[in-house]
Structure 1
Amino acid sequence: MPFLLRVELPDVPGSLGRVATAIGEAGGDIEAIEIVEKTQHGTAVDDVLLEMAPGTMPDSIVSACSQLDGVRVMWINRYAAGGNLFLDLEVVEEITAHPEEAHHRLMRLIPVSFRVDWAVRLRRTDGEVSLFDHTEAAPDFVEWADITRPTRLSGPDDNLVLCGVPVGEDLYVMGRHGGPEFLDSELARIGHLVNLATSITAAAAMAAEQSTDD
């Protein structure tokens, strides 16, 4: 099974090559890399999808990377979402191709595009909260949060990392077991895609209404 490594490294030429070499020497085979964030402190955060050679342990990869100057392993875990990273552009293409169900399509793509274990869309009507949409691994109950922008949320325990994104009267909530914490760049990306899905759905509804009137 693939592993996903999140690593912070200096944002200078050659840094990623050093990390890739260290991973290879430790028994890891890189399948894909995505830049998650570039900070104001001269560092970058990358997600690295890799396969392990037989007998290789994640600790070996962590140790090899950590020995490099300025490199910090933020998180490593098994990655069951498939053999590739799903880019935001692919999400946009999918929800644009199916405008009437843009939010539903987005919900199904959130786990692979943001490396979360589950996602739900909550709806609050007359004070009652219901699970309007969800991925397969979502829990039966997720607590509502009164927020006005994409926000990190407190989970029921330290092992569950959450974030929420409001959309109209609804609320998206996404969870990761064991981390990593949601970065500011991830919150911005999730918020953008949720808002885009809303705009696409509204445009499709308006077009359908105009077609009916004609």
Structure 2
Amino acid sequence: MPFLLRVTLPDVPGSLGRLAGAIGEAGGDIEAIEIVEKRHDGTAVDDVLLEMAPGAMPDSIVSACNALDGVEVLWISRYAAGGNLFLDLEVVEELTAHPTEALNRVIDLLPVTFRVDWAVRVGADGTVSRRTEAAPTEFTWVELDRPSRLPDDEVSVLCGAPLGDDLIVLGRRGGPEFLESELARLGHLLGLARSINRA
């Protein structure tokens, strides 16, 4: 089964190679790497999709990565969404292929795109108009004017963003926290979905 690893590492030549070597020695096979955020302090946050060799444990991957100078594992979890990272461009291509369904289709695509467990679209009256399979059937309305982190529930870290008069909420079971870059991406994708739907 695939695992998704989120790490911070120095944003300098060779860092990714050292990380890949440590993961390989600990029994991980990297399938994809995505830069999630570049920070002003000279570090980057990367998501690494990997498969584990038979008998290898996630703890060994974490230990090997944390042993590298300047590397910190923020989160590791099974990645049930499958064996690839779904890039924002692929979302836009899917939405433009079906523009009249863009506002609904974007909800369906958000969990894979942001590596979250669920997404839900809630109206101001609290009515859930679209949800992915694991999403709650009820959600309390929150007034937002921009993508923002929401208070965590007992199971998931949450973020939300406005979509017209509705609210889009994403839930990620157990973490990691949503980064500013992820919130910005969410706002851009929802804005594109609205523009595509109007076209």
Whole-angstrom CA distance in 2 between matches of 1:163 and 1:73: 22
Q: In 2, distance between residues paired with 1:63 and 1:144?
A: 41
Query: What TM-score, normalized to structure 1?
Result: 0.91
Equivalent positions of 1:100-119 (< 5 A) are 100-119=100-119
Residue segments in structure 1 that go unaligned for 5+ positions in a row: 204-214
CA distance in 2, matches of 1:136, 1:160: 15
Answer whether contact 2:66 2:72 (CA < 8 A) is retained. Answer: yes
SS at match of 1:93: helix
The residue type equivalent to 1:131 in the other structure is V
Contact 2:148 2:161 in 1 (8 A): yes
Residue 64 of structure 1 aligns to a residue whose secondary structure is helix
2:92 alignment partner in structure 1:
92
Instruction: Show the counterpart of 2:150.
Output: 153
Where 1:92 maps in the other structure, the secondary structure is helix
Aligned to 2:130: 133
Moved over 6 A (4+): none
Q: Secondary structure at 1:199's aligned position in 2?
A: helix
C-alpha distance after superposition, 1:179-210 (max 9, x if no partner): 0000000000010000110111112xxxxxxx
Instruction: Say whether residues 1:185 and 2:178 are aligned partners.
Output: no
* Corresponding residue of 1:15: 15
**Equivalence for 1:33:** 33
Query: What is the match of residue 206 of structure 1?
Result: none
What CA distance in whole angstroms lies between the structure 2 residues aligned with 1:28 and 1:83? 14
Offset, 1:2: 0.2
Equivalent residue pairs, number: 199
The answer as to whether partners of 2:126 and 2:138 remain within 8 angstroms in 1 is no
* 1:109 CA displacement: 0.9
State how far apart, in whole Å, the 1-side matches of 2:138 and 2:24 are. 42
The whole-number CA distance in structure 1 between the counterparts of 2:172 and 2:180 is 16
Task: Quote the Cα distance in structure 2 between the aligned partners of 1:105 and 1:156.
Answer: 26
Aligned residue in 2 for 1:173: 169
**Which structure is larger by alpha-carbon Rg, 1 or 2?**
1
Task: Provide TM-score, normalisation by structure 2.
Answer: 0.98
Q: Unaligned 5+ residue runs, structure 2? A: none
Q: Structure 1, residues 3-36: CA drift from partner, whole Å, max 9, x if none? A: 0000000000000000000000000000001000
Match of 1:129, SS state, is coil
Q: 1:85 corresponds to which letter in structure 2?
A: L
